[in-house]
Amino acid sequence: MGGRLQGRTAIVTGSARGIGTAIARALAREGARVVGVDVLDDLGRSVAAAIDAEAPAGAGCAYLHCDVSNEEEVRSVVAGVRAAHGRIDILVNNAAVQKEALAADVTVADFHRIVDTNLLGCVLFCREVLPAMVAAGSGAIVNMSSVNAFSADPLLPVYGATKAAIIGYTKSVAIAYGRHGIRANAICPGDVDTELNRAFWEAHPDPAGFRANVEAQYPVRRIASTDEIARVAVFLASDDASFVSGTEVVVDGAITARIYEL
């Protein structure tokens, strides 16, 4: 019996680790033919091979190198996927970077790296897949934002700005292309148990204590798993979300719902 995404073709950016890997795996399990893209080629190929090996019949996962901020590489990847599969049904813009710095200490180089990866990469991939989706009369775009879009971290001013911009951009795409059967939505996760978060905690003198302190801030007393974010992405990509478009889905264990805790 086929999954919710049987026969559909998906592109997932930043697929080599973390949330991107979980989303690529979840889409493939639901029957999609997934093409993961990243710049971490050895890891990206290994992850794709593992997902492909466990995918059901008719589904699978392949890997292509792509710097999402490089216009020609993005164009080449999208053209190649369309030529190989004849269609692009799902796009998940997940690739992102961050660099901690107070606003007064942000360098121009770091600004461009964050904006070019997080925001420009999203814009380029949307631009390139939209013609295929318009031709098919359907499509689902899922852009990864963050609770940092509306709840600021003092050390992530540019990262937060890109995530806020992604929400605005997603709404514009949804409004402009809804008449073509295309939906666009954003996901706003809170903290997620990824390699990057674990490395961040390990940099502190008491990693376990620091993580426990972070988790204690959440009303649910824990952070999210990558699979929990992936399940939301599958929902938004599937026909279960057929009337969900132009919105941001907050997946944050209620951390942004409160003022403070006594």
Q: Which tokens sit at 257?
A: 């719902």
Distance CA 140, CA 246 (A): 11
> What's the one-letter identity of residue 110?
D
Q: Around Cβ 223, how many Cβ atoms within 10 Å?
A: 21
Q: Are 13 and 95 in contact (CB under 8 A)?
A: yes
* Catalytic member of 159, 169, 177, 260: 159
Q: Are 140 and 236 in contact (CB under 8 A)?
A: yes
Handedness of CA 247, 249, 254, 260 (dihedral sign): negative
Q: Are 257 and 158 in contact (CB under 8 A)?
A: no
Residue 177 annotated to the active site: no
**In 3-state terms, the chain is what percent helix, strand and coil (to 5)?**
50, 15, 30
| C-alpha Rg value of the chain to the nearest Å | 18
Active site residues: 159
